[in-house]
Amino acid sequence: MHRAVCPGSFDPVTNGHLDIVERAAGLFDEVVVAVGVNASKNRLFSADERIAMLTEACAGWDNVRVDGFTGLLTDFCLAHDVHAIVKGLRAVSDFDYELQMAQMNSSLAPIETVFVPTSPEWSFLASSLVKEVATFGGDVSGLVPDFVLERLTARLAEREQG
């Protein structure tokens, strides 16, 4: 069984993330989408909300499941018999940091990192930009699943009122 992990914060999941998950699911027997739930003050959605959105978004793929993790990604991989980390690369600028993390992770455990080039249509996409554009009323439909757009719009409206 070749099992891989697609890790991330997914705050919220975008179509760019789902492109990488789908393609990883074609390469590996099983893919675990691992939502990092380490404490951070800057999240728009809670860990449970992010996991719920991913679970809904990945429901159509039989060999994909969603889980949360705290602590080191390599510890999660060892505990779940995962031997590969799949990361999307949007641009050369992603590469420096991703290479550093891949090398650090492989120094911690015998786990390979596999880089998958993001499809060109999503190469500009980042959760942080989606949130910023949506905050100022920009149209982000088509960049995230429709149900994520609904929750994003609702959360930003709550924030505006609160």
Q: Is 36 among the residues that bind ligand PNS (CB under 6 A)? A: yes
Q: Out of 4, 5, 6, 9, which residue is the one contacting ligand PNS (CB under 6 A)?
A: 9
Among the listed residues 21, 24, 33, 73, the single contact to ligand PNS using CB under 6 A: 73
φ, ψ of residue 111 to 5 degrees: the values are -130, 125
Residue 17 known to be catalytic? yes
Stretch that binds ligand PNS, among 1-9, 50-58, 113-121, 134-142 (CB under 6 A): 1-9
**Residues 21 and 116: beta-carbon distance below 8 Å:** no
SS3 content of the chain, % helix, strand, coil (to 5): 45, 20, 35
Binding to ligand PNS, residues 101-160 (CB under 6 A): 101, 104-105
Could you tell me which residues come within 8 angstroms of residue 56 by beta carbon, excluding any fewer than 6 positions away? 145, 147
Candidates 8, 12, 16, 145: give the one binding ligand PNS (CB under 6 A).
8
Q: Nearest 5°: phi and psi at 59?
A: -60, -25
Q: Which stretch binds ligand PNS (CB under 6 A): 3-11, 21-29, 117-125, 144-152?
A: 3-11
Q: Which long-range contacts (CB under 8 A, 24 or more apart) does 20-23 make?
A: 20/86, 20/87, 20/88, 20/116, 20/118, 21/58, 21/61, 21/64, 22/61, 23/116
Residue of 23, 50, 127, 131 with catalytic role: 127
Which residues on adjacent β-strands are paired with residue 30?
3
Near ligand PNS by CB under 6 A, which window of 4-12, 117-125, 131-139, 141-149? Answer: 4-12
Q: Which of 15, 68, 72, 95 binds ligand PNS (CB under 6 A)?
A: 72
Among residues 23, 87, 90, 151, the one annotated as catalytic is 90
Gap between the Cα atoms of 74 and 124, Å rounded: 28
Catalytic residue numbers, as ranges: 17, 41, 90, 127
Contact footprint for ligand PNS (CB under 6 A)? 7-9, 36, 72-73, 101, 104-105
